[in-house]
């Protein structure tokens, strides 16, 4: 969905094409970075997605998610953003839910995280999406400070609930 009169903002040169859409060839590095992120978040045992599952989700017949890759000056992937569309009944339009944002430690501070979020904000503007949302662990102060520096606001009045594993099976059976 595109709003009339809106055009895509001119792309800033973050450092010669730092951000691009992921391709099927990126699946191994995306999978590796998902596992690195899970380890950082102290939940590696919960990261069970396989490269095949990621390929199907991103590039299968009916993609469920999308991904952008951040590259360093040598063209090597150093970060990624994996996201999907959500929908706001209050706003009546889609938004983007950012499932994962990760920049490898050696590339942090180089503008890759900001460039990834900027690209997702552009996706929102281009398509008329009115929200860009994500979750952050309450102990992850570096990320919280970074998000606040961009103008992101915490939604402290909401508590996330999740059903998985045995509880999900029990309820769904």
Compute the distance between CA of residue 89 and CA of residue 159 in angstroms, rounded to an integer: 19
Compute the distance between CA of residue 8 and CA of residue 124 in angstroms, rounded to an integer: 10
Active site residues: 147
Q: Which of 112, 34, 109 is nearest to 72 (CA)?
A: 112
| Longest CA span, the chain | 52
Residue entry with tokens 């059976």 = 173
Edge-first strand order for the sheet with 93-103 is: 19-21, 66-71, 77-88, 93-103, 132-134
């Amino acid at each position: 969905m595109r709003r009339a009169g809106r055009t895509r903002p001119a792309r800033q040169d973050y450092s010669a094409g730092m951000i691009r859409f992921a391709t099927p060839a990126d699946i191994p590095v995306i999978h590796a970075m998902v596992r690195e992120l899970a380890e950082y978040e102290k939940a590696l045992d919960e990261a069970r997605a396989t490269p095949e599952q990621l390929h199907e989700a991103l590039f299968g017949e009916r993609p469920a998610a999308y991904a952008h890759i951040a590259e360093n000056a040598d063209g090597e992937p150093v970060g990624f953003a994996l996201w999907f569309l959500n929908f706001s009944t209050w706003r009546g339009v889609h938004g983007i839910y950012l499932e994962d944002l990760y920049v490898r430690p050696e590339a942090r501070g180089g503008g890759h995280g900001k460039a990834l979020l900027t690209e997702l904000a552009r996706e929102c503007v281009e398509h008329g999406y009115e929200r860009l949302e994500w979750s952050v662990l309450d102990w992850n102060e570096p990320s919280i400070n970074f998000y606040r520096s961009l103008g992101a606001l915490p939604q402290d009045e909401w508590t996330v609930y999740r059903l998985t594993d045995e509880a999900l099976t029990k309820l769904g059976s």
